[in-house]
């Protein structure tokens, strides 16, 4: 069963069948001499390696950009701290005055870290949803996850619900999470009843968005005035709800989920070649879809529960990442997470710069930047 790439005497084979618009090495050199096939292979594999190296370089560059954006996020803010103050507050909190330490440790750092983390979660969730549902418009937002979270949060806020006797600061995110994650389980169960799973899930998701918006509007209508403001603010999405405990929870789950996503990278790559191909390569497509959906719904539900709905990062991030590194999911998954982190971190910087002295909820910023990006995306699709 040995098959070698050496040129065969058959004149119709290998060397003969080149693409029309790229001169082959074999053609420019002596045709079908024994060594040139080996040279061809080395050249091709070197080309393949260069593609890999380019992507690794991009990943490193994104890591640095992410750190830079995070740093900029920590530095910007209304209290006018210098870089030097920050540096000292981080390294030696005991040596700076209390106000500085409090600002850095309870405001600046948690906000900046939360922005990066939530961005990464949304970027990863978006790209996996788009791949497994074979739909470029899939994201935690468009599948109705954020809207369902808003219903849960609104219920908690309006009726002062405290499930499991939780303190109020945890009651709202807990209910938001339960609704978001529950909505995905419901969608999945409904889609299983229908014969065509993928399209059904996206359509049901959109239907869910509308129902949830109506429910939230109804709750706003009956909410007392003092609660209404709190309710509206929650639906805007903001990293100012960040605390170190929430960061810890989200980071732990993200660290738990990411390795499973990376382990499924090859299966997801070939799924992009078509479901039948993936199946014939031995991929259990149903299981892949189910596991991935549950995974990313879990992390994005937690993220949304903590910071509120933040649109477009999960939708646009994957598309930017795909343009940069292509469809090899070993690179696309981490890149998409990094693009998401970078985008949300930059949005967080912008949210402090738009109106001096006021932190505009970052959900507003991402939506404002996201809408033109979304339009561009649709226009590109029609190409």
Partner 1 sequence: MDQDISSGLVVEGVSLGYGRTPIIRDLTLPALRRGTLTALIGPNGAGKSTLLRGLAGLGNLTGSVRLDGEELHRLPRAERAMLLGFMPQSLPPPISLSVLESVVGSLRAGTGASSHSRAGDPVRRAYATLADIGIAELANRELSALSGGQRQLASLAQAVARRPAVLMLDEPTSALDLRHQTVVMREVARLTREHGLVTIVVMHDIALAARHADQIAVLRGGALRAFGIPREAITARLLADVYDIDARVETCSRGSLQIIVDHAL
- Could you say whether residue 266 binds partner 1 (CB under 8 A)? yes
Q: Which of 29, 95, 168, 327 binds partner 1 (CB under 8 A)?
A: 327
Q: Which stretch binds partner 1 (CB under 8 A): 92-100, 184-192, 268-276, 293-301?
A: 268-276
What is the nearest approach in angstroms of partner 1 to the Cβ of residue 24? 5
- Could you say whether residue 28 binds partner 1 (CB under 8 A)? no
Q: Which stretch binds partner 1 (CB under 8 A): 5-13, 221-229, 251-259, 295-303?
A: 5-13
Q: Pick between residue 56 and residue 214 the one whose CB is nearest to partner 1.
A: 56
Which residues, at least 6 apart from 107, have a Cβ–Cβ distance to it below 8 Å? 77
The Cα–Cα gap between 36 and 213 comes to 65
Q: Pick between residue 1 and residue 255 the one whose CB is nearest to partner 1.
A: 1
Q: Pick between residue 35 and residue 163 the one whose CB is nearest to partner 1.
A: 35
Q: CB of 376 within 8 A of CB of 267?
A: no
- Could you say whether residue 165 binds partner 1 (CB under 8 A)? no
Q: Pick between residue 86 and residue 321 the one whose CB is nearest to partner 1.
A: 321
Q: Which of 192, 277, 286, 380 binds partner 1 (CB under 8 A)?
A: 277
Residues 192 to 251 in contact with partner 1, rule: CB under 8 A:
195
Q: If DSSP states are collapsed to H, E and C, what string results for the chain? A: CCCCCCCCCCCCCHHHCCCCCCCCHHHHCCCCCHHHHHHHHHHHHHHHHHHHHHHHHHHHHHHHHHHHHHHHHHHCCCCCCCHHHHHHHHHCHHHCCHHHHHHHHHHHHHHHHHHHHHHHHHHHHHHHHHHHCCCCCCCCCCCCHHHHHHHHHHHHHHCCCCHHHCCHHHHHHHHHHHHHHHHHHHHHHHHHHCCCHHHHHHHHHHHHHHHHHHHHHHHHHHCCHHHHHHHHHHCCCCHHHCCHHHHHHHHHHHHHHHHHHHHCHHHHHHHCCCHHHHHHCCCCHHHHHHHHHHHHHHHHHHHHHHHCCCCCHHHHHHHHHHHHHCCCHHHHHHHHHHHHHHHHHHHHHHHHHCECCECCCHHHHHHHHHHHHHHHHHHHHCC
Q: Which stretch binds partner 1 (CB under 8 A): 14-22, 73-81, 109-117, 226-234?
A: 14-22
What is the nearest approach in angstroms of partner 1 to the Cβ of residue 228? 47
Q: Pick between residue 226 and residue 276 the one whose CB is nearest to partner 1.
A: 276
Residues that bind partner 1 (rule: CB under 8 A) add up to a total of: 45
- Could you say whether residue 160 binds partner 1 (CB under 8 A)? no
CA-atom Rg of the chain in angstroms = 25
- Could you say whether residue 40 binds partner 1 (CB under 8 A)? yes
Q: CB of 350 within 8 A of CB of 115?
A: no
- Could you say whether residue 90 binds partner 1 (CB under 8 A)? no
Q: Which stretch binds partner 1 (CB under 8 A): 159-167, 279-287, 353-361, 366-374?
A: 279-287
The Cα–Cα gap between 76 and 346 comes to 11
Q: Which stretch binds partner 1 (CB under 8 A): 45-53, 181-189, 211-219, 304-312?
A: 45-53
Q: CB of 328 within 8 A of CB of 55?
A: yes
Q: What six digits make up the tokens of 263?
A: 């382990």
Q: Which of 16, 58, 203, 233 binds partner 1 (CB under 8 A)?
A: 16
- Could you say whether residue 290 binds partner 1 (CB under 8 A)? no
Q: Pick between residue 24 and residue 220 the one whose CB is nearest to partner 1.
A: 24
- Could you say whether residue 131 binds partner 1 (CB under 8 A)? no
- Could you say whether residue 328 binds partner 1 (CB under 8 A)? yes
- Could you say whether residue 281 binds partner 1 (CB under 8 A)? yes
What is the nearest approach in angstroms of partner 1 to the Cβ of residue 217? 40
**Which residues are near partner 1 by CB under 8 A?**
1, 3-5, 10, 12-19, 22, 24, 37, 40-41, 44-45, 47-48, 51, 195, 266-267, 269-270, 272-274, 276-284, 322-323, 326-328
């Amino acid at each position: 069963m040995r098959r070698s790439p050496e040129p065969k005497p058959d004149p119709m084979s290998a060397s003969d069948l080149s693409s029309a618009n790229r001169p082959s090495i074999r053609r420019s050199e002596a045709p079908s001499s024994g060594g040139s096939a080996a040279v061809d292979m080395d050249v091709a594999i070197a080309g393949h390696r260069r593609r890999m190296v380019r992507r690794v370089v991009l990943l490193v560059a994104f890591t640095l950009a992410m750190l830079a954006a995070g740093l900029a996020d920590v530095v910007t803010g209304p209290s006018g701290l210098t870089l030097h103050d920050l540096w000292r507050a981080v390294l030696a909190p005991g040596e700076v005055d209390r106000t500085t330490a409090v600002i850095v440790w309870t405001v600046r750092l948690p906000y900046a870290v939360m922005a990066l983390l939530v961005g990464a979660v949304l970027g990863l969730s978006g790209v996996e949803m788009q791949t497994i549902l074979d739909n470029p418009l899939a994201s935690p937002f468009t599948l109705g996850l954020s809207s369902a979270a808003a219903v849960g949060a609104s219920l908690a806020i309006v009726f002062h619900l405290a499930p499991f006797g939780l303190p109020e600061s945890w009651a709202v995110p807990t209910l938001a999470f339960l609704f978001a994650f529950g909505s995905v389980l419901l969608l999945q169960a409904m889609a299983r009843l229908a014969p065509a799973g993928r399209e059904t899930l996206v359509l049901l998701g959109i239907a869910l968005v509308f129902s949830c918006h109506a429910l939230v509007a109804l709750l706003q209508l009956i909410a007392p005035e003092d609660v209404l403001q709190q309710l509206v603010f929650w639906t805007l999405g903001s990293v100012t709800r960040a605390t170190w405990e929430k960061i810890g929870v989200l980071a732990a789950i993200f660290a738990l989920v990411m390795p499973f996503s990376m382990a499924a990278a090859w299966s997801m790559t070939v799924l992009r070649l078509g479901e039948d191909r993936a199946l014939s390569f031995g991929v259990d497509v149903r299981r892949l879809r189910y596991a991935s959906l549950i995974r990313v719904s879990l992390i994005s539900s937690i993220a949304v529960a903590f910071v509120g709905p933040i649109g477009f990062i999960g939708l646009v991030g994957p598309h930017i990442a795909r343009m940069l590194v292509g469809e090899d999911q070993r690179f696309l998954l981490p890149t998409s997470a990094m693009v998401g982190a970078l985008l949300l971190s930059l949005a967080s910087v912008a949210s402090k710069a738009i109106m001096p002295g006021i932190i505009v909820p970052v959900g507003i910023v991402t939506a404002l930047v996201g809408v033109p990006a979304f339009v561009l995306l649709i226009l590109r699709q029609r190409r």
